[in-house]
Amino acid sequence: MSKIMRMVFFFLFSLLLTTNLMAQVHVERSTEIVKIGGKEYYMHHVKQGETLYGISQVYFVTVEEIEALNPEVKKGLRAGDVIGIPMRLEAPKPAEPQHVVPKPVEPQPAESETVVQPVQQPSAPPKPNATPKPVVTGDGVQVGTDYVVLQGEDLYDIAKKFGIDVAEFKAVNPSLTEKPAAGTSIKVPNIVNTDEYIVHKVEYNERTSSLLKRWKVSESEFRKINISVGSQVFVNQVVLIPIAKVNHASETPSPEIDDEEEQPTEIVQTEVIFEEEEPYQIPECNPQSNNASKRYKVALMVPLYLNSLESLNVSKEQVHKAQKSRSMRFLQFYEGFKMAAEQLTQRSGLHLDLTVIDVTDNVSTATSALSQIQGKELDMIIGPFFGKSFEIIEEYAKEQNILVVNPLSTREIIIEGNPNVVKAKAGPTGQIVNLVNLVKRQYRDANVFIVSQELEADTAFLNALEYRLNQAVNAEVTVSNEELLHYAREESERKEMGEKMVTTVDVEGQVYSTEALNANVTGSAVLSNAVKRFAYSDVGSMKSQLSGVRDNMIIAYGNTNVFATQVLNTLKRSADHKPITLVALPDWTKFEKLLVDDLLDMNAIYFSDHFIDYRDPDVKQFVQRFRDRYKAEPQQYAFEGYGVAWYFLNALMQFGPDMIDCLPSYPMQVLHTQYRFAHRGRGNGVENQAWSVFQYEGKEVELVPVDPFQE
């Protein structure tokens, strides 16, 4: 063989060998694990030659699961990408011979490419040889095998039995219908769910009522883990379907669980019967002109503690002294209410018979109030303010079909089971609605974090918030190389490097070469974007993922001064060189000792059930009128009483006593808040979902109102 022929043969053999080795790149399971939303995920750093299929086999997940969690991989897998992989129990897998395959030399990028230098993770330590146990359901059916449909079962019954969404079954059984015939053999997806719920993505034409019916779950159980879901859902919205925990043979008992602890109840299948019902439709409401001329009877049940007084006619000289008394702390609510009623009478011709009843936290006063209102044919009741007393009155209102308004409670449970109840003060669902709208309209490209104390009582709220926010943000954000270079210059200045520039810059865990960026200034990088959730104990990991090239929205959820102070102390150094917008939940206005400078640096956004803007002309006018009339300064209850009277008495004059279905189409800004009502499903009342949102803007110490529903 000639020398030239030997060289050609050697070249072809080398090319064939390299191609073969590239196709057999050994995928190593990552040891880097992060906790997001109470669940753990592997952070896998993609190496040259790896494929989605190869990665899925190592982590015992499907390619579809990886793509759902990392939408950017659908455009192609690139070396240096960091993707999240759900942690799963190891499903049975045929034994394969182990090959030691040398890693191919990665090709150097072209001059126009941006070099991404991922942090190299140590290889996982070798595991002892062990045969993985098969994963089975309580019926003894092995995951990843075939299942024979039983008589009376539909696809949703089967999905609940395995803890797997119907979409996963349809993905591996393309011709599968929702009601397969008994005896049909279907493939069970190779997925293991250890949770007590199924993550379901809403399909076209699904509603809350149809979800309950299809999945055969009660509304109360559904609401416990889906607190922000109303009667209407939208395509691709994520909801949680509660199920009893699927029993897996490969699981070992948790050492924290007492053997005598009550075990999960058996999964209910076809025994649950749901009545046929149409989706709740909000009627079209039009104001009727003849309503304005009617006379209305309203009972105001306010805790005035007037056992020793015969009337509310207190002289101007005595009012200031009386308002300082603890027993008269709600007097200003009545005073504000009365001012609004009189103003509507004078300006709009309101005809009102107002009965004021002193109902306190003593339930005997509520019982006494019932005897005073029976037979009066009331059009509306406002109050009582205290829980036990309100329960007594709302039961009577339900029997008599009377609208009853709770002016102060934030508990969402008060509207459940009574279609006549109106909750005037926004609750947790309203915070989610407002924050999601704020992100959707003003922060879609932000790097969003949730940091909390991860208390068990907050789990449902935080889960709902995380899922809804992930629907609001853009899945990908494009950042120009010029922006990356600008950040590199800022980092160089911060490190006092003079004329020199840093050689690399870390942006959200990706490392970019400034030399490559300079060589391709007109290029850009695409950043994957999803909401990240951390417990406060892991806040150090959160800081490492803050972005220097886009806004970081940090939603801090905690109700103690200690937590709020710790969050500010932890983030204030990062705020010096990275753009941060801090959202303070659920209500940080009560923390008076927080450093305003830190809040200013982080453009802090507050949520509160009220916000009185004393620069507003209407507020100024009300304050002056209150001073002139009562010789005192109006406090929060005065504004709330005025707002409740102004809104609901106006609504009476527009829609009449049967106004409750019309309230969602009748939003209004009053002096201390907004009223933006929403239904909570058939058989329930309505609640206000509008929180007052305001922000420290720039270097102004005064808070500025923010409209979450404005672009």
User: Hey, what domains does the chain have and what are their CATH numbers?
Assistant: 20-83 (3.10.350.10), 146-242 (no CATH), 289-425+615-696 (3.40.50.2300), 428-475+529-608 (3.40.50.2300), 477-526 (no CATH)
How many other C-beta atoms can be found within 10 angstroms of the C-beta atom of residue 34? 16
How remote is the C-alpha of 236 from its chain's centroid? Answer: 15
Listed in sequence order, the residues at least 6 apart from 419 whose beta carbon sits closer than 8 Å to its beta carbon are: 398, 660, 682, 683, 684, 685
The single residue listed with the structure tokens 């101007």 is: 316
Q: What is the pLDDT of residues 149-161, one digit of tens each?
A: 888 888 998 888 8
Per-residue confidence (pLDDT) for residue 130, from 0 to 100: 36
Burial class (CB within 10 angstroms; exposed 0-12, middle 13-18, buried 19+) of 490: middle
Can you tell me the mean pLDDT for 181-209? 81
Section 413-440 average pLDDT: 90
Average pLDDT score over residue span 164-177 = 86
44-48, 116-120, 197-201, 507-511: least confident range: 116-120
Of 234 and 331, the one with more pLDDT:
331
Asked if residue 309 has pLDDT above 60, the reply is: no
Backbone angles phi, psi at 3, to 5 degrees: -65, -40
Task: Tell me the range of 24-28, 280-284, 316-320 where mean pLDDT is highest.
Answer: 24-28
The whole-angstrom separation of Cα 599 and Cα 606 is: 10
Q: Where would I find the H helices in 631-702?
A: 636-655
**Statement: residue 14 has pLDDT above 80:** no
Cβ-based neighbours of 697, under 8 Å, separated by 6 or more: 603, 704
Judged by average pLDDT, the poorest of 80-84, 95-99, 444-448 is 95-99
Q: Read off the pLDDT of residues 253-264 as tens digits, 9 standing for 90 and up.
A: 333 323 333 332
Over 60: is that where the pLDDT of 512 sits? Answer: yes
The number of CA neighbours under 13 Å toward the Cβ of 136 is 8
Predicted local distance difference test score (pLDDT) of residue 21 = 37
Q: For the chain, give the percent of residues with pLDDT over 90.
A: 30
239 in helix, strand or coil? strand
Across 46-55, 217-226, 281-290, 375-384, the highest mean pLDDT is recorded for: 375-384
Confidence bin at 282 (pLDDT 50/70/90): low
For range 69-82, the mean pLDDT: 76
Worst-scoring range by mean pLDDT, 123-137, 428-442, 613-627? 123-137
Question: Measuring CA to CA, how many Å separate 70 from each of 61, 194, 426, 571, 617?
Answer: 13, 21, 35, 28, 50
Residue 249 has pLDDT above 90, yes or no: no
**Which of 118-127, 261-270, 301-310, 641-650 comes out lowest in average pLDDT?**
261-270
Residue 449 predicted with pLDDT over 70: yes
